[in-house]
Structure 1
Protein backbone atom coordinates (compact mmCIF):
# COMPACT_ATOMS: atom_id res chain seq x y z
CA UNK A 1 0.00 0.00 0.00
CA UNK A 2 2.80 2.39 0.88
CA UNK A 3 4.50 1.95 -2.49
CA UNK A 4 1.25 2.87 -4.23
CA UNK A 5 1.16 6.23 -2.46
CA UNK A 6 4.79 6.84 -3.47
CA UNK A 7 3.91 6.09 -7.09
CA UNK A 8 0.88 8.40 -6.96
CA UNK A 9 2.97 11.27 -5.59
CA UNK A 10 5.64 10.68 -8.23
CA UNK A 11 2.95 10.87 -10.91
CA UNK A 12 1.61 14.10 -9.37
CA UNK A 13 5.11 15.63 -9.36
CA UNK A 14 5.65 14.62 -12.99
CA UNK A 15 2.31 16.10 -14.04
CA UNK A 16 2.99 19.37 -12.24
CA UNK A 17 6.43 19.53 -13.81
CA UNK A 18 5.15 18.84 -17.30
CA UNK A 19 2.07 21.05 -17.25
CA UNK A 20 3.45 23.69 -14.87
CA UNK A 21 7.07 24.28 -15.71
CA UNK A 22 6.57 23.79 -19.45
CA UNK A 23 4.52 26.97 -19.83
CA UNK A 24 6.97 28.85 -17.61
CA UNK A 25 9.99 27.85 -19.66
CA UNK A 26 8.51 27.94 -23.15
CA UNK A 27 5.86 30.67 -22.91
CA UNK A 28 6.14 33.57 -25.29
CA UNK A 29 4.06 35.85 -23.07
CA UNK A 30 5.07 38.71 -20.88
CA UNK A 31 7.65 38.18 -18.13
CA UNK A 32 5.05 39.05 -15.48
CA UNK A 33 2.81 36.23 -16.69
CA UNK A 34 5.71 33.77 -16.49
CA UNK A 35 6.51 34.89 -12.95
CA UNK A 36 2.90 34.45 -11.81
CA UNK A 37 2.78 31.00 -13.37
CA UNK A 38 6.08 30.05 -11.72
CA UNK A 39 4.82 31.20 -8.31
CA UNK A 40 1.66 29.14 -8.70
CA UNK A 41 3.68 26.09 -9.78
CA UNK A 42 6.02 26.47 -6.79
CA UNK A 43 3.00 26.79 -4.49
CA UNK A 44 1.61 23.54 -5.93
CA UNK A 45 5.00 21.88 -5.35
CA UNK A 46 4.90 23.14 -1.76
CA UNK A 47 1.42 21.74 -1.16
CA UNK A 48 2.38 18.39 -2.70
CA UNK A 49 5.52 18.21 -0.59
CA UNK A 50 3.59 19.11 2.57
CA UNK A 51 1.06 16.33 2.04
CA UNK A 52 3.77 13.85 1.03
CA UNK A 53 5.80 14.55 4.17
CA UNK A 54 2.65 14.46 6.28
CA UNK A 55 1.82 11.02 4.87
CA UNK A 56 5.36 9.73 5.43
CA UNK A 57 5.39 10.92 9.08
CA UNK A 58 1.89 9.57 9.68
CA UNK A 59 2.90 6.03 8.73
CA UNK A 60 5.93 5.87 11.05
Structure 2
Protein backbone atom coordinates (compact mmCIF):
# COMPACT_ATOMS: atom_id res chain seq x y z
CA UNK A 1 0.00 0.00 0.00
CA UNK A 2 2.80 2.39 0.91
CA UNK A 3 4.59 1.68 -2.38
CA UNK A 4 1.49 2.62 -4.40
CA UNK A 5 1.14 5.85 -2.45
CA UNK A 6 4.76 6.84 -3.03
CA UNK A 7 4.53 5.99 -6.73
CA UNK A 8 1.34 8.05 -6.97
CA UNK A 9 3.01 11.03 -5.31
CA UNK A 10 6.02 10.78 -7.61
CA UNK A 11 3.76 10.49 -10.64
CA UNK A 12 2.05 13.72 -9.61
CA UNK A 13 5.42 15.38 -9.04
CA UNK A 14 6.65 14.34 -12.50
CA UNK A 15 3.40 15.54 -14.04
CA UNK A 16 3.71 18.88 -12.23
CA UNK A 17 7.29 19.39 -13.35
CA UNK A 18 6.32 18.51 -16.91
CA UNK A 19 3.33 20.83 -16.95
CA UNK A 20 4.79 23.81 -15.11
CA UNK A 21 8.40 23.33 -16.21
CA UNK A 22 8.35 22.32 -19.85
CA UNK A 23 5.28 24.38 -20.77
CA UNK A 24 6.93 27.75 -20.15
CA UNK A 25 10.09 26.59 -21.90
CA UNK A 26 8.26 25.52 -25.04
CA UNK A 27 5.78 28.39 -25.25
CA UNK A 28 7.71 31.39 -23.91
CA UNK A 29 8.70 34.18 -26.21
CA UNK A 30 11.71 35.29 -24.17
CA UNK A 31 15.35 35.12 -25.16
CA UNK A 32 16.92 31.73 -25.87
CA UNK A 33 19.40 32.14 -23.00
CA UNK A 34 16.58 32.40 -20.48
CA UNK A 35 14.89 29.33 -21.94
CA UNK A 36 18.10 27.32 -21.66
CA UNK A 37 18.52 28.28 -18.00
CA UNK A 38 14.96 27.16 -17.35
CA UNK A 39 15.57 23.92 -19.24
CA UNK A 40 18.68 23.21 -17.16
CA UNK A 41 16.71 23.72 -13.95
CA UNK A 42 13.89 21.45 -15.13
CA UNK A 43 16.37 18.72 -16.12
CA UNK A 44 18.03 19.04 -12.70
CA UNK A 45 14.62 18.62 -11.02
CA UNK A 46 13.90 15.50 -13.12
CA UNK A 47 17.26 14.01 -12.17
CA UNK A 48 16.77 14.85 -8.49
CA UNK A 49 13.29 13.27 -8.45
CA UNK A 50 14.62 10.17 -10.18
CA UNK A 51 17.48 9.80 -7.71
CA UNK A 52 15.19 10.28 -4.72
CA UNK A 53 12.81 7.64 -6.06
CA UNK A 54 15.71 5.28 -6.77
CA UNK A 55 17.13 5.71 -3.25
CA UNK A 56 13.70 5.20 -1.70
CA UNK A 57 13.14 2.10 -3.82
CA UNK A 58 16.44 0.57 -2.69
CA UNK A 59 15.80 1.34 0.99
CA UNK A 60 12.27 -0.03 0.93
CA UNK A 61 13.50 -3.23 -0.71
CA UNK A 62 16.05 -3.91 2.03
CA UNK A 63 13.58 -3.60 4.89
CA UNK A 64 11.49 -6.58 3.81
TM bucket normalised to smaller: over 0.9
Equivalent residue pairs, number: 60
5+ residue gaps, structure 1? none
- Deviations for 1:1-48, whole angstroms, at most 9, x for unmatched residues? 110000000000000000000011001000000000000000000110
Structure number, greater radius of gyration = 2
TM (norm. structure 2) is: 0.91
TM-score (ref. length: structure 1): 0.97
